[in-house]
Amino acid sequence: MLFAKAKTDFLEYMEIEQNRSQKTIQNYDHYLTRLVDFAGDISIKDIDAELIRKWRLWLNRLGTNTSDELSKTTQNYHLIALRSFLKYCARRDIPALVPEKIELARTRRRQVTFLNEDELERLFAQPDITTLIGLRDRAILELLFSSGMRVSELVGLNKDQINLKRREFMVRGKGQKDRPIFISQEASQWVEQYLNKRSDTAKPLFIRYGGSKQVDLSGNFHRLTARSIQRLVARYALLAGITKHVSPHSLRHSYATDLLMNGADVRAVQALLGHSNIATTQIYTHVTDPHLKAIYEKFHHQTDNT
């Protein structure tokens, strides 16, 4: 069987049987198409260790519009997509390379950027809350930090999804997994203030007020995009005089850091963040590292040499 035909079948399998998101399917299509770009529409049986070695070398030298080369992490995404495809072939009894033979490249441990209490206060103080847009932006910042939501989860929220009185609701995150979200009283109040100022009937929780179409009372509004929220977070961080790179994910990191520093168990934080693997949550071990010296000095027997 030719690769392109099997790829189409695999993507349909992901959509129908695995119920994967359209974004995930698009990404897998993109990664697997790059194998076609490199080798052509080859037979599946021709995908062997040597071909993959040459493809990896090709990927390593492949540039993008914004970089001279693909990062190791992005290269691994290509390999993960191919491994999933080969697992699909095994399920369908299509002769193919054993997916376990594909090893991922070693990557550097991610640098975690989080904001301290002073930086958070300065960031939250930037939106002009006398305007509807400023109220919206303050609510977004508060909600991101209070909930630890991914930006993709936040932009997908509708007004009828959140319960501001109970201060909890459900979101569907990566892998189509549902998890509970809890928010602070302060975040709830800012979202409520924003919603009370709105006079539209649009469903999205956060909408944009600009662009080619005029805002009116007919519900002809547009849901804010993840990119728009990334831009507004970066802009307010700059106005706050924060020199480090700040993104919506920085507020998610800050949420996790705050929980751990206040004594939350790493397994509980894993569940609250929606991480499927505890190793992903353990990138926050930098939080506990400063406590190691205190533990050492408290519990290790010291010899008095005086």
Residue 306 banded pLDDT, cuts 50, 70, 90: very low
Where is average pLDDT lowest: 28-42, 199-213, 230-244? Answer: 199-213
Residue 90 banded pLDDT, cuts 50, 70, 90: very high
The Cα 301–Cα 199 span in angstroms is 66
Instruction: Flag whether the pTM goes above 0.75.
Output: no
Determine the pLDDT at residue 214. 45
Residue 213 banded pLDDT, cuts 50, 70, 90: very low
Question: Which residues are tagged catalytic?
Answer: 150, 174, 249, 252, 275, 284
More confident residue, 302 or 84: 84
Q: What is the dihedral of CA 211, 154, 263, 168, to 10 degrees?
A: 130
Residue 126 banded pLDDT, cuts 50, 70, 90: very high
Where is average pLDDT lowest: 171-185, 202-216, 217-231, 290-304? Answer: 290-304
Determine the pLDDT at residue 109. 61
What the chain holds in terms of domains, given with CATH numbers, is 3-101 (1.10.150), 117-292 (1.10.443.10)
State the CB neighbour count (10 A cutoff) for residue 161: 13
Residue 290 banded pLDDT, cuts 50, 70, 90: low
DSSP calls for 219-244: S--EEPPHHHHHHHHHHHHHHTT--S
